[in-house]
Amino acid sequence: MQDLPKVWAEERIARSSLGKKSFGPWDAVLTQQILCRLLTGHSSSSPALTRVCTTDPILQEQSVPARIPTGSSSPRPCAPRLHGRYHEMAPNVVPMDYTKDPDVKLPMQLIINMPELKENPFKERIVESFSEDGEGSLSFNDFVDMFSVLSEMAPRELKAIYAFKIYDFNTDNFICKADLEKTLNKLTREELTAEEITLVCEKVIEEADMDGDGKLGFADFENMISKAPDFLSTFHIRI
């Protein structure tokens, strides 16, 4: 009779030696599974997608491992929609098969033309704050990241972190007056007069600045946004 820990140990070891083969950063299967879960918020929010996703989960689950040995990235019901969106922006650049090709990035210009982002006054900032290089080009990873944060299921804290990044135009980890002015100009399409803008900016700093340094740190921002009644309802995108 062997004791259980031993058995598990064996198993572990066996797994570790085997697992490596399929543990590249772009393990297609894994990605799909994870994306699917990470994006459950999205998956159920869009009617078209929900139709696919809310089919019997058991069936889904059974069908998934069956595909694994084939090694193809034939999509799981949830993730592929997002990947499809990513793919359709640049069908020539983005491969459908991610098993070996890890590094594809789409430039900002393509992404901000998505209908979900097109009308957003902060679209450039959104894309920039989610891109790894800060330049605005998104890998599929970043892309998924973006929509996962903007999904309905993402918690307030996470959203606050990224909202702060978005409104921090000069990326100095503070929202200063210049950032506020930019935000305001984007929000109102520059229809306010200069005095009005300065008034509003002063008021914002006066209201939210807790430590009195004349600009909003993340703590100030989070404190303010955590009390906002409709931050959660407005800071999300359905895809």
| Residues 136-165 interacting with other proteins (rule: CB under 8 A) | 141-142, 144-145, 148, 150, 153-155, 157-158, 161-163
Could you tell me which of 81, 89, 69 has the C-alpha nearest to residue 28?
A: 69
Distance separating the N- and C-terminal Cα atoms of the chain: 54
Binding region for other proteins (CB under 8 A) out of 55-63, 79-87, 90-98, 105-113: 55-63
Residues between 63 and 92 with contacts to other proteins, criterion CB under 8 A? 64-66, 68-69
Which of 35, 24, 26, 22 shows the shortest CA–CA distance to 94?
26
| Residue 98 · residue 31 · CB < 8 Å | yes
Which residue matches tokens 């200063």?
A: 176
Reported in sequence order, the residue ranges of 18-119 that DSSP labels E, i.e. its strands, are 105-106
Scan residues 102-121 and list those touching other proteins (CB under 8 A): 115-116, 118-121
Of the candidate spans 50-58, 82-90, 91-99, 103-111, the one that interacts with other proteins by CB under 8 A turns out to be 50-58
**Helix/strand/coil percent split, the chain, to 5:** 60, 5, 35
- Does residue 4 interact with other proteins by CB under 8 A? yes
**Stretch binding other proteins (CB under 8 A), from 79-87, 90-98, 105-113, 218-226:** 218-226
Near other proteins by CB under 8 A: residue from 170, 210, 213, 214: 210
* 135 lies in the site for other proteins, by CB under 8 A: no
**Nearest residue (CB) to other proteins, 2 versus 92:** 2
Pick one of 28, 31, 83, 89: the residue that binds other proteins (CB under 8 A).
31
Q: Among candidates 237, 220, 221, 10, which has minimal Cα distance to 130?
A: 237
Minimum CB separation from other proteins for residue 101, in Å?
15
Please state the separation of Cα 54 from the chain's center in Å: 22
CA distances from 192 to 109, 154, 180, 187, 195 (A): 28, 34, 13, 10, 8
- Which residues between 169 and 208 bind other proteins (CB under 8 A)? 173, 180, 183-184, 187-189, 191-192, 196, 199-200, 203-204, 207-208
> 69 vs 92, which CB is nearer to other proteins?
69
Contact predicate 126/116, CB 8 Å: no
Q: Which is nearer to other proteins, 57 or 84 (CB)?
A: 57
User: Which is nearer to other proteins, 79 or 92 (by Cβ)?
Assistant: 79
